[in-house]
C-alpha cells in the first residue's frame, strides 16, 4: 500500500487469495481475471507475501 501511495496509484479494488497457490480454486484470482477481461482496469499491482515454510 505504501508503494502505491508513493507512486500516486489509487487502489480501487483489492483481490486476495489466502489458499495455497497450488490449489485450483482461487476465487480472488478468478475475480481479478474477470475484471481484466472486461477491460475495467488500467493496471494491476501485485504483492506477494513469502511462504512461511522453512
For 3-44, what is each residue's pLDDT tens digit?
A: 889 999 989 899 988 776 676 788 988 999 999 999 999 889
| pLDDT confidence of residue 26 | 86
Residue range(s) defining the domain that contains residue 45: 1-54
Give the pLDDT of residue 50.
62
pLDDT of the residue at 1: 76
Decide if 16 contacts 28 (C-beta within 8 A).
yes
Q: How many domains does the chain have?
A: 1
d(CA 25, CA 19): 8
Exposure class string for 9-45: b at 16+ Cβ within 10 A, else e:
eeeeeeeeeeeeeeeeeeeeeeebeeeeeeeeeeeee
Instruction: Determine the pLDDT at residue 52.
Output: 55
pLDDT at 48: 75
Amino acid at each position: 500500500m505504501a508503494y502505491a501511495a508513493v507512486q500516486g496509484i489509487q487502489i480501487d479494488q483489492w483481490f486476495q487469495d489466502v489458499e495455497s497457490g497450488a490449489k485450483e480454486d482461487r476465487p480472488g484470482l478468478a475475480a481479478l481475471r474477470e475484471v481484466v477481461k472486461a477491460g475495467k482496469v488500467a493496471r494491476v499491482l501485485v504483492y506477494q507475501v513469502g511462504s512461511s515454510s522453512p
